[in-house]
Structure 1
Amino acid sequence: MLGTVIIISFASCGADNIALFTPFFMTLSANNLLLSIIIFALNILILGLLGKTIAKNPHLHDVLEKYSRWILAFVYIILGIMVLLESGTVSKILSFL
């Protein structure tokens, strides 16, 4: 099962993810790159097990089914804000004003 989940995870990484992570991976040493790949695989395993647990819990499944659209939107907005702040984009834009 883990192999299938890893293949699906890699296959679903669109061009946007490749464009985002390629510059980051280019800055890593071989050891850090290997560590990143191992952590990525472990995260896939953890998320797969978490998904399986959620699917088996009818109450939690129903709540997440009902509010998943809002939860996902919130997560994407927070991630976007974090990327803008940590990359220095906001400060760069403000410096033009």
Structure 2
Amino acid sequence: MAELWATVGTAAGMFAGTNIDDIIILTVLFLSARAAGRPRTWHIWAGQYAGIAILVALSAVAALGLTVVPDQWVGLLGLVPFGLGVRSLIAAVRARGDEGDEPPPVATGLVSVAGVTLANGADNISVYTPVFRTIGAAATVITVVVFTAGVALWCLAAAWLGSHKKVVEIVERYGRWIVPVVFMLIGAVIVAESGVLGRLL
């Protein structure tokens, strides 16, 4: 029993440590859903689950010694949120002067939400892979169950933040600029921290 709780605690800590920045992204997505109606709430939930599931699957495959994407190029996934942010910023500039302050949606559906989750969690693979390689099948199943509960907790927390009156007021006023800039910054940080630009140059 002690070993079970130790596995649960380790998995919870690993999930929180590798996905703390997802709270920001999810909050922005829920705010966008409130203000613009896109993406829909179920798109956010399903997209987050799909993105985390893909990350876990890739980590499991890598743990078996099969590299799907070479580690040195994983950082290029940061271009996904960056590109979505640029597209949304261009839409905001074009809509400037129009009536209403609704921020243009950065992610509009399940696929784009999953893409953002996957891109933001690209570095998770380097953490999950060695863990899955060493903990065994039973502990891996427990870890996946904890991750599943963690995604639900993250979505609930972000939905609560996204409905907070002060946060909503700020986004209603400045959302058309804040939302795309946040996504561009997240994408830029992912690319920069991965060191992929240095390898390209």
5 Å-filtered alignment, 1:2-81, equals: 5=41, 7-12=42-47, 17=51, 20-21=54-55, 22-24=57-59, 28=132, 29-53=140-164, 57-58=168-169, 60-61=170-171, 62-81=173-192
Q: In structure 2, what residue type is equivalent to 1:9?
A: I
Shift of 1:18: 7.0
Identical counterparts, % of pairs: 12
Q: In structure 2, what residue type is equivalent to 1:37?
A: T
Structure ranking higher on relative contact order (CA contacts 8 Å, 6+ apart): 2
**1 or 2, which has the higher helix percentage?**
1
Distance 2:155 2:53 in 1: 20
How many positions carry a matched residue from both structures?
Answer: 83
Provide TM-score, normalisation by structure 1: 0.57
User: Pairwise CA RMSD of aligned residues?
Assistant: 3.6
Q: Which of structure 1's runs of 4+ aligned residues deviate more than 3 A?
A: 10-13, 17-20, 25-28, 54-57
TM-superposition CA deviations, 1:27-69 (whole Å, max 9, x none): 54111111111111100111111111158742x1213333221
Structure 2 unmatched ranges of 5 or more: 1-39, 64-131, 133-139
Q: In structure 1, what residue type is equivalent to 2:47?
A: S
Change (3 A) 1:68 1:18: closer
Distance 2:165 2:185 in 1: 20
